Amino acid sequence: MNNTKKPNFIILIFSVLLGVFMAGQFKQNIPILAPVTLRAIQTTKNEINVLNKEIQDLNKMINDKEEQLKVLESIASGDENIIDILIDELEKNRTVAGFQEVEGSGIVIKMQDNMAEGAFGEEYDLDIVHDIDVLRIINDLKGAGAEAISINGQRILSVTEIKCGGPIIRVNGKGLVTPFYIKAIGDPKLLNAAINAPNTYSYALKNIDQINIETTVEDNIKIPAYRGRFNFKYAKPIKEGD
């Protein structure tokens, strides 16, 4: 009797213990644990960064709007004249849009065809400055944070085309000939690096195709205003709330 009862009793006790453990596990309400890979961590990090950036931008926007609100309040209370404020705003917008002559530190790039006799590759095509060369250099300048760019006095804007026109290149509908003087306002060091650093496009142009590219860093460059007119026929602004 005792022999058969005792094991059952012990098993019962330990089963209870096991049940208690199990209940503890049940109470955890464990979510499904997916293995976290390094890639997932990286992705999440990126997402967090993007979100933080967004938050920063939004905060900036809030500050801007608050400033605007202050201006409007001061108008309402009669401290400032609305015409002055509007003129200020207009000046700012004209500068941003490129309708204002601007000056500042930057670099001047002179590009000229390869004039040497025994030209590279014995092919004229490789010795001349093409529209695409200018375009790429301007793209590099923009990438380096150039705030205003002009070629031979033609302001480069979002609508500016740079097209091959045979012996000339066409910019803003005007024909330009070599030598091309590209002026760019921005951080001179960065702009210089974008043009002269090894493995940039213009570095290759200079050292492989032997195109004459000279850059000078200057403290005070004047870049003229855009002289054309914007006439948007098709693009219409979307009103907020539409």
Between 14 and 230, name the residue whose CB sits nearer to another protein.
14
180-185/148-151 β-pairing = antiparallel
Binding site for another protein (CB under 8 A): 6-28, 30, 33
Q: How far is the CB of 50 from another protein (least distance, A)?
A: 29
Name residues whose C-beta falls within 8 Å of residue 197's C-beta, 6 or more positions apart in sequence.
Answer: 203
- Strand ranges across the sheet with 174-176: 162-165, 168-171, 174-176
Nearer to another protein, 2 or 77 (CB): 2
CB 212 within 8 A of CB 114: yes
Residue 41: CB minimum distance to another protein, A: 15
Residue with Cβ nearer another protein (38 or 235):
38
In the bound state with another protein, the residue whose beta carbon lies nearer, of 15 and 49, is: 15
Q: How far apart are CB 1 and another protein at their closest, in Å?
A: 14
Shortest Å distance, C-beta 47 to another protein: 24
Side-chain-side CA neighbours of residue 113 (13 Å): 17
| 98 three-state secondary structure | coil
CB 167 within 8 A of CB 177: yes
Of 25 and 158, nearer to another protein (C-beta) is 25
Least Å distance, CB 20 to another protein, is 4
